[in-house]
Amino acid sequence: MVETKALIKATLDAGREFFRPPGERVAGPAPLPAEGVKQPSVVVPIRSIGPSHRERITDHLLALQPQDRYLRFGYAANDEQIRRYADSLDFDRDEIFGIYNRKLELIAMAHLAFSTDPDLRSCAEFGVSVALQARGRGYGSRLFDRAVMHARNEGVDLLFIHALSENTAMIRIARNAGALVERDGSETEAYLRLPPATMDSRMSEIVEEQLAQTDYRLKVQAKQFWDFLGAVQEIRRGVRDARDKSGR
């Protein structure tokens, strides 16, 4: 689990980045580490998201390539099926976590679905997707950690992950967390037993959520600032062009 101290530092560092134009940084998947080489845990603000973000969830999922839709849903979901899935998300019962970039695009999300079966109240299922250009940076793993922390705090003691056996990245995330992984042909089920919640896990979740909300608000302000600046430049350009045309 990422330490709260590290998260606070990362949020403060990120604050300095906000007021650089959003297009300045080059996006792209990070190179994967060589086998056996352990990367340090990435620190990224992850926030719990609500129904007002449904459209962005839909956009994020619709942007997944056919193969990734297949890996995410276990079948080749078409646009209609993805829209139906997003529309049916129950934000009261389940928990959705998201990572946003500086343009406020949802670049990674996880769905922690709680069991609706009264006999299986202490079980939940984890599903995740990371935008292609943001893969290999540890976002999938961090979303998993975040979901585990929340599930623990909600009294879940068994977390399920359903993956296709070819899904090396997802299986690695589950294995790294200590899940029991059972392969059955093309399908793989992973089960992670969760320890009970502690005061520390509860406090960590509250602090992480607060920091992630602050990070998001800063991103909103920075985006508004750049949009405003863009509009001012547009007006200036218009005035200059008009002046040039009139020969003054």
Ligand X SMILES: CC(C)(COP(=O)(O)OP(=O)(O)OC[C@H]1O[C@@H](n2cnc3c(N)ncnc32)[C@H](O)[C@@H]1OP(=O)(O)O)[C@@H](O)C(=O)NCCC(=O)NCCS
Residues that bind ligand X (CB under 6 A): 32-33, 39, 68, 71-72, 127-130, 135-141, 163, 167-170, 172-173, 176
Q: Which is nearer to ligand X, 66 or 238 (CB)?
A: 66
The overall longest dimension of the chain from CA atoms, in Å, is 80
* C-beta of 176 vs 233, nearer to ligand X: 176
Which residues contact residue 109 at a Cβ distance below 8 angstroms, ignoring those fewer than 6 apart?
Answer: 49, 57, 60, 96, 97, 98, 99, 128, 129, 143
- Between 161 and 222, whose beta carbon lies closer to ligand X? 161
By beta-carbon proximity to ligand X, the closer residue of 141 and 222 is 141
Closest contact distance (angstroms) between CB of 214 and ligand X is 23
Tokens matching residue 113:
């679905």
CB of 98 to ligand X, least distance (A): 13
Name the minimum Å distance from CB 104 to ligand X: 19
Nearest approach, Cβ of residue 230 and ligand X (Å):
31
CA separation for the pair 27, 172 (Å, rounded): 24
Q: Based on CB atoms, which residue is closest to ligand X, 176 or 210?
A: 176
Structure tokens at 11: 């949020």
Q: Which residues contact 111 (CB under 8 A, 6 or more apart)?
A: 89, 94, 95, 96, 126, 127, 128
In 117-137, which positions are buried (b, 16+ CB within 10 angstroms) versus exposed (e)?
Answer: eeeeeebbbbbbbbbeebbeb
Residues 6 or more apart in contact with residue 75 via CB below 8 angstroms:
none
Of all residues in the shown chain, the one whose CB is closest to ligand X is 140
Q: How far is the CB of 73 from ligand X (least distance, A)?
A: 8
Count how many Cα atoms sit within 13 Å of the Cα of residue 96 in the half-sphere of its side chain: 22
C-beta of 41 vs 214, nearer to ligand X: 41
Separation between Cα atoms, residue 106 and residue 45, nearest integer Å: 12
Which residue, 53 or 137, has its beta carbon nearer to ligand X? 137
Q: How far is the CB of 241 from ligand X (least distance, A)?
A: 45
Residue whose C-alpha is closest to residue 175's, from 188, 186, 156, 157: 188
Which tokens sit at 4?
């709260």
Minimum CB separation from ligand X for residue 244, in Å? 49
